[in-house]
Structure 1
């Protein structure tokens, strides 16, 4: 699996209009907790179905995009944070120690 890097608002709008599942990982490059959550997620992401598109946002470099994500999917901004999107709606929002590839897979498979 590989991250699709988010750098602009148009990409977020594309995720919003996409059918199926997408996952957004909002990451702070200045935060060791965020780095740990990302590493742990990547170690386990093989449990996530391969048709889920994985998107990565460096929220320090792209703060305006991070704000747009929060508004678009109606979630409170946190870092680190994952959002599981299904058919344009956020169906799972987790942050910090609650970020889990196993939980993402469980939501998708149920």
Structure 2
């Protein structure tokens, strides 16, 4: 079963960006203090439990606890910060992102198909 790997450092973020040159990388930015984010996280976990893309990598950033990495991701990827937020990387660039109630298992399945 696919799982999210939590990233907490700039070095881990850089490694993910580099890894996206080889395979898609989905970053989920999650606030542990927000009920909307909790619902989106459940949707993302449902996607991982049902039928995730086996060729993709999955990462998690806690936006409060690891704020510097969260803000760096927004800056490096050219995506306005939101929480919750899903960002799909390919070849070092954000190619898709969505946030809040638009994060659903079906939206993730479509983006990663």
TM-score (norm 2): 0.89
**Contact residue 47 and residue 108 of structure 2 kept, 8 A:** no
2:14 paired residue number: 13
Report which stretch shifted further, 98-107 or 66-75.
Answer: 98-107
- In the TM superposition, structure 1's runs of 4+ consecutive aligned residues that sit over 6 Å from their partners are none
Matching of residue 28 in structure 1 with residue 24 in structure 2:
no
RMSD: 1.2
Structure 1's unaligned 5+ residue stretches are none
2:51 paired residue number: 47
**Contact residue 84 and residue 104 of structure 1 kept, 8 A:** no
Report which stretch shifted further, 9-18 or 38-47.
Answer: 38-47
Total equivalences in the alignment: 109
2:90 paired residue number: 86
